[in-house]
Structures are given as structure tokens and as C-alpha cells.
Amino acid sequence: MTCRLRYRSPVGVLSLEAEAQGMSGLSFLDRGPPCPGMSGQARAHLDLAVEALETYFAGRPPRLPPLALRGTPFQLAVWAALCAIPWGEVRSYGEVARLLGRAGCARAVGGANHENPVAILVPCHRVVQAGGKLGGYAAGLDAKRWLLAHEAGARPRAAPGMRAGPSRARAPARTLPCAGPAAVRSIEGPPRHQESRWRSSSR
């Protein structure tokens, strides 16, 4: 069962999703109405995700919660590479492709970035075009610009309203470790669409 909470952040309300195996989603998109019920494991993962977000927005690199991500082997490899990009730094799509031994696949890296189900904590916003242009971002370039300025130690102005892109399809895939304190794991089979919302007392 997938469980959900809504987290009010400096860049707008975020939708967090978790299953027993770990965090499965973090987006700027409202995922729909909540459903009752929440497993202890899923709630623990959501608690860790909230702690990570509070650390992030306080201006410090967060410790990632366990992640349970679905994707193709290439997508999982890209998302693992994103976790290895240090706080406050950026990489180009081509650099990520070369890191994966797939020189010439910058466009495919961009596609995997767009399908990243866990925004901010799996930092697809740290990937930009060659030459320094921002490139794309599912929540919009204002959000990407804000996040990069935040990490660079700037004091961003009040965050603009954010809009997310279309919902992302989920597909089963293999297991791939994520660089950093958490593991990116795949889950075979489609999720059950029973979800709940929990509001943290700190909100």
C-alpha cells in the first residue's frame, strides 16, 4: 500500500509517497485524495523524508531515507548518478551520460531526469545543459533556479508558485544501489492505489 503526506515547503506544497520498502515519490503534483490507513514502515519512511526535507531547506545536505524507485535499468542508473552529485554543484546531461559510460546519450539522461519520481532528494535539479543553461525541470525553471540558488548559499526571494508536469508512469525494474547513504531499490509489479495522508505535527 502506498501512503502519502503533504509537506508545506518554501517552494510550495510537496506530495510525498512511501511504501513499506521506502520512499517511492516526492513531487510538486497533488497525487489525489488520501485513503485511510498507514503501515508503521511507510510512516517511518515518511518521517525520515520530512526530516530530510527540513534539513535540506535549512541549508544542509540531507541524509536520504530509504528509496524504493521503479524504472528501467538505465533510469535507475541515472538516478543513482544524481545522488552522487555533491550539494551545491551541477553536472551537464552529457557529463552524467559519460559517467555512465554512455557518451552521446545526453538526451536519454534528460528523459530519465524528467521521469525521476523523487524530486529534490534525488537531485535532478543539479543537472543542466552544457554551457550552463538550466535545461528542463518538471516543476518549472523557477523551481529549479530557486533550488540551485538555495544550495549555492544565496538567499532566494519568496518562492514562486509551482506547477508540476504530467504524472509519471511506473514500471518494474531491477535493483541498483544509489551512491550516498540510501539505496535505490526497484519493486516488481504495480503499486496498489490505496493511499493515505498524514500531516506532520511540525507543519
Active site residues: 124
* CA separation for the pair 129, 91 (Å, rounded): 8
Non-local (6+) Cβ contacts of 93 within 8 A are 106, 107, 109, 110, 113, 127, 128, 129, 130, 135
Supply 144's cell numbers.
529549479
Assess contact for 126 and 83: CB atoms under 8 A. no
Scanning the chain, the segments in alpha helix (DSSP H) are: 40-57, 73-83, 93-99, 106-114, 141-151
* CA separation for the pair 145, 159 (Å, rounded): 10
Would you give the DSSP letter of residue 124? G
Q: SS3 of 171, please?
A: coil
* CA separation for the pair 141, 125 (Å, rounded): 9
Assess contact for 61 and 51: CB atoms under 8 A. no
